[in-house]
Amino acid sequence: MRSIILIAPPAAGKGTQSDMLVGKYGFAHISTGDMLREVAKHDESIKSKLENGELISDDIVFSLLRDRLKSTDCKKGFILDGFPRNVNQAIKYDEMIKDLDVTSNVVIFLDVDKELACKRIVGRISCPDCKRVYNDMIPESMPKVSGKCDDCGGILVKRSDDNSETFGKRYDVYYENTAPLINYYEEKGILYKLDSGMSKDVVFSKIEDILANLND
């Protein structure tokens, strides 16, 4: 079972690259953000923290992750999107996977310029029906008809936390809590750094090269 960790600032393309990896390799995609947003539907405390760009406690995150890793679709391998967020979580995760049949653990750092990342966040709009994502601030990602999904015709919507103020908080929190992971994983010799300001296909090709050269 292969563990792939994607770490990055907000809007660096973790979700996009995860989807592409799932499509090619059949790995399970585990997004702690998606798990927390699902819980937030019936937990006002978590909902408030997410909307204000605050981090959720490790106890809650690990409880959700532990249950998720028990699913059968994780047996072949899994991608962690947005987790761990700090060194303490990384250490605890290392302990967790000792009990799993993990044949390799690789960390891919997707770096991105702050200005570009802000545009990706603030301009992000999506279709609630087919889930396709667009961006009304990046020309190549705009829908053909403003506010309307190209694929299914659904009305595009924006998440309440996709604004410049929340982005700024999330970016600052990232550098305070998550950036030290780079040094941690570099020292372990399993970190690969990529510029995610490039097109998604170029980034994916580089990830494919990394995986092809791993020894399971």
Q: Is residue 147 part of a domain?
A: no
Residue 1: its pLDDT value, please?
Answer: 80
CB 164 within 8 A of CB 91: no
Two tokens at 76? 């072949």
- Please check whether residue 158 lies inside any domain of the structure: no
Tracing tokens 């999506």 back to the chain, one arrives at: 126
Measured between alpha carbons, how far is 66 from 93 in angstroms, rounded to an integer?
A: 10
Domain-located, residue 130 = no
Residue 52: CATH number of its domain: 3.40.50.300
Q: Give the chain's count of helices (H) and strands (E).
A: 9, 7
Give the burial string for 139-149 (b: 16+ CB within 10 Å, else e).
Answer: eeeebeeeeeb
- Distance between start and end Cα atoms, the chain: 9
Please indicate, yes or no, if residue 199 is contained in any of the structural domains. yes
Where in the sequence is the domain holding 8, given as residue range(s)? Answer: 2-112+165-212
Q: DSSP code of 28?
A: E
Number of structural domains (the chain) is 1
Q: Say which amino acid occupies 162.
A: D
Q: Is residue 82 part of a domain?
A: yes
User: Considering the domain boundaries, does residue 102 fall inside one?
Assistant: yes
Please report whether residue 155 resides in a domain: no
> Which residue numbers are catalytic?
14, 85, 124, 159, 170
- For 83, counting Cβ atoms within 10 Å of its Cβ (0-12 exposed, 13-18 middle, 19+ buried), the class is buried
Q: Is 93 exposed, middle or buried (0-12, 13-18, 19+ CB in 10 A)?
A: middle
pLDDT at 168 (0 to 100): 87
- pLDDT per residue as tens, the chain (216 positions): 889 999 888 888 888 898 899 999 999 999 888 888 888 999 888 898 888 878 788 888 888 888 888 888 988 889 998 788 789 899 999 988 887 778 888 999 999 888 888 988 999 999 999 989 899 888 888 999 999 999 999 999 998 888 888 888 888 888 887 888 999 999 999 999 999 989 889 999 999 999 998 865
